[in-house]
């Protein structure tokens, strides 16, 4: 989990207000100049407007799925571990 910790540390240094855990993206509507997001956490649903959304959540990306972008790829034939 070293990679995740390094990324978290850097994001917190740059934009501590942009980092949340325990939040699920349940809706995404792109606009001309921003993106409307619907988020769900243990408090319920809430809306958020953002200039940019980055989906770094792998093969089952909620961002890619919400935009209707298919996963183009296949299994990786080797084992690896990111630390």
Confidence (pLDDT) at 81: 72
Q: What is the DSSP letter of 74?
A: -
- Average confidence (pLDDT) per 10 residues, the chain, 83 residues: 86 88 92 95 95 81 88 81 68
Confidence (pLDDT) at 17: 86
Q: Which residues pair with 48 in a beta bridge?
A: 37
Q: How far apart are CA 64 and CA 73, in angstroms?
A: 13
Q: Give just the sign of the alpha carbon dihedral 6, 9, 14, 15.
A: positive
Q: Record the pTM.
A: 0.71
Q: How far apart are CA 26 and CA 63, in angstroms?
A: 9
């Amino acid at each position: 989990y070293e990679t995740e910790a390094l990324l978290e540390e850097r994001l917190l240094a740059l934009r501590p207000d942009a980092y949340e855990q325990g939040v699920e993206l349940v809706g995404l509507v792109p606009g001309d100049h921003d993106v409307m997001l619907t988020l769900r956490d243990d408090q319920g649903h809430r809306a958020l407007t953002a200039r940019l959304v980055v989906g770094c959540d792998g093969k089952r990306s909620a961002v890619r799925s919400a935009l209707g972008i298919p996963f183009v790829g296949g299994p990786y034939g080797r084992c690896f571990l990111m630390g």
